[in-house]
Structure 1
Amino acid sequence: MFLGPRALKEVIEGAELYPIRGLFNFKDFFPEIDSYYLGIHGDELGIPTGWKCMDGLYKVVPGELTIVTGVPNSGKSEWIDALLCNINNQCGWKFVLCSMENKVRDHARKLLEKHIKKPFFDARYGGSVERMSKDEFEEGKEWLNESFHLIRCEDDCLPSIDWVLNLAKAAVLRHGVRGLVIDPYNELDHQRPP
């Protein structure tokens, strides 16, 4: 009562409740909710595909699984490769690729063509577009090495999904990859342990 009853009343009314672990008010989360409302909360809502016509229908959301399916030779792998190049260009994501149907050199060619936007060879499929230059090729190889890592099964046996996922985890830790592509999934051993 040294400062009087009015001061005591102000101290009591202005006192903060002792926090109880695990008990919150919504106002504790208002900054996060505001960011969510304004769409500036990061990539939780998905990152753009690089194709405006697609972004209203689909975005890549970290932590989610995307399955691309279709009839054979309909362009699924080419579309996925183009998507990876777009995401790498926009967001700098790195990927680990488990692509058992592609030879490494062919897959490298396809990714380089998408990144450089020029054909790898002097070929009809390039139309009148000039072949990538030696300098573009060398810069592209650096980009390829920094952006993509490979999971390859050198044995004659089919790899298991656990084997692929363990290597993908290692790629996350060692190289900072943000995405995994398994193409095609039916090339894996689907046996369940007894």
Structure 2
Amino acid sequence: MQTTEINGFLIDNFNQYNLETGKKQGICPLCSHTRKPKNQKAKCASYDWERGLGTCHNCNTSFQLHTYQRKGASEKEYVRPVDKVEDYNITGDPEQKVVKWFKTRGISAQTLIDLQVGEGPEYMPQTGKTENTIKFNYFMGDQLINVKYRDGRKNFKLYKGAEKVFYNINSIVGYEYCIITEGEMDVLALHEAGIPNAISVPNGATLNSNNLDYLDNCIDYFEDKEKVILAVDSDEAGQALQAELVRRLGAEVCYLASFDDCKDANEYLIKYGKEKLSERITQARPVPLENVTTFKDIEDEVTDFVRNGFKKGYQVGLENFDNIFSTYTGQFITVTGIPSSGKSDFVDQMVVGYNRNYGWKTAFASPENAPTYLHAHKLMRKTWEGMPTSEDIHGDKWNNVSSHVNDNYFFIDMERYTLESVLRKGAELVKR
């Protein structure tokens, strides 16, 4: 009897490579056809049909036996790309200019075919004209969800209005672990090194925003992961992304990969090769234990302090206040004052400032601000930077501000508040 689902993922195609169903050993769909004729029928791969994974002992690569339907539906309506993937897919012709370019980056034509990378014309706003672009296709199940375009000048854009999800998200189904990178080229590099279960954030890392809406849209894919290896860039923005992913996914499952003198996985592949890149991933170290610090854990911060002194923390955007106060994540801040002096109102202003400057979302457990709609109105006024009137209702600005408040501020509303129940609800919101 065939399995119909694995870890909650409904199977779409039970045998995507047309292998001998039920057999525990057989040919490898990835390398057998490339071997010498006398070895092409050799049983070099093991099949685990219950887990949906195969492992080749010749090319040392794992592969998915099944394809899966998307898990979890989006609550929002998004635009779907109209691109016909088959019209733009790279064929692997070694004389193709784009294939030659990828070869200089250590990426083979087979990897481009495996991940359905495309090429074709697209209007790029950065140049103001149609350019020939590389097309990174984002799938969930068998649906094309988004497309990222890259032109020859290294300009990027995502398909306008499309849902943001991880690149190559289908690849992690069935695996107990996965690797998160900061770019599609790094996913291709890891695939080239025999690590297929790698995904990428869709829009890189930025210092001033930790809005991981793509993680919200894919959170179900991480429910069964015992290990998540973070292989992001070594620059400041990449490290900020790493810290936020650790916070959202949980330090207990996160491991950190580093690339020594290279910025990312693709650069490491070019410089040191497939085998060494694979070793960097297997050598990923656990996130340091909470409340236990070694000098190695903080050596970068010590070096930065010696060079630059104290670094300014996060600021709310009020000049006089920012001159005397800034904060860091992980702090517990107490605001005190005499009754009715505006403490809660000022905290709301701080929250709106952090949201405006860094994209931070906030959950409130604030029974003193009941009823909740009055608290929401306060935040709306601060975001509006004025007082909305009845004439503004359902106008463009009203719709934009109300949508922003809905997406960025959350109100914990309980009949009976306890510290444990509030923290538990906060933990749920962090994961979402």
TM-score by length of 2: 0.29
Deviation at 1:82, TM superposition (A): 0.7
Structure 2 residue matching 1:149: 3-state secondary structure:
strand
Deviations 1:18-48 (A, max 9, x none): xxxxxx998x94x54444444798xxx5201
Equivalent residue for 2:398, pick from 137, 145, 148: 137
Q: Do 2:392 and 2:398's aligned partners in 1 also have CA atoms closer than 8 Å?
A: no
Question: For residues 54 and 132 of structure 1, what CA distance do their matches in structure 2 show?
Answer: 33
2:392 aligned with 1:149: no
- Tell me the secondary structure at the aligned position of residue 101 of structure 1: helix
Instruction: Give the deviation of 1:165 after TM superposition.
Output: 0.8
- Relative distance call for 1:135 and 1:58 in structure 2 (3 A) is same
Change (3 A) 1:40 1:137: farther
The 10-residue stretch of structure 1 (72-81 or 55-64) with the greater mean CA deviation from structure 2: 55-64
Taking the aligned partners of 1:66 and 1:161, their CA distance within structure 2 comes to 16
Q: 1:64 aligns with which of 322, 326, 331?
A: 331
Q: From the superposition, tell whether residues 69 and 39 of structure 1 become closer, same or farther in structure 2 (CA, over 3 Å).
A: same
C-alpha distance in 1 between matches for 2:295 and 2:408: 43
- When structure 1 is superposed on structure 2, of 95-104 and 78-87 the one drifting more is 95-104
Per-residue CA deviation, residues 155-188 of structure 1 (Å, 9 max, x unaligned), is 3xx31111111111111111xxxxxxxxxxxxxx
Richer in helix (by share):
1
Contact 1:49 1:60 in 2 (8 A): no
Which residue is 2:384 aligned to? 116
Percent of residue pairs identical = 26
Instruction: Give the distance between the partners of 1:25 and 1:34, measured in 2 at CA.
Output: 11
Other-structure match for 2:429: 171
Q: Which has the higher strand share?
A: 2
1:77 matched to 2:344: yes
Rate the CA distance shift 1:93–1:25 in 2: closer, same or farther, 3 A. closer
Among 93, 101, 105, the residue aligned to 2:373: 105
Residue 161 of structure 1 pairs with residue 419 of structure 2: yes
Deviation at 1:56, TM superposition (A): 3.0
Deviation beyond 3 Å, 4+ runs, structure 1: 31-41, 130-133
Q: Which one-letter code corresponds to 1:108 in the other structure? A: A
Matched, 1:91 2:349: no
Matched, 1:48 2:315: yes
Cα root mean square deviation, aligned: 2.8
Give the letter for the 2:365 counterpart: C
1:101-146: CA deviation from partner (whole Å, max 9, x where unpaired): 2222111111111111110337xxxxxxx96872211111110111
| Contact 1:49 1:83 survives alignment (8 Å) | yes
Preserved CA contact (<8 Å) 1:119 1:132:
no
Cα distance between partner residues in 2 of 1:52 and 1:134? 32
Rounded Cα–Cα distance in structure 1 between residues aligned with 2:347 and 2:302? 33
Q: Which has the higher contact order (CA 8 A, sep 6+)?
A: 1
User: Which SS does the other structure have where 2:364 is aligned?
Assistant: strand
In the superposition, relative to structure 1, how do residues 53 and 152 fare at CA in structure 2: closer, same or farther (>3 Å)? same
CA distance in 2 between partners of 1:39 and 1:97 (Å): 34
Asked which structure has the greater CA Rg, the reply is 1
CA distance in 1, matches of 2:362, 2:309: 25
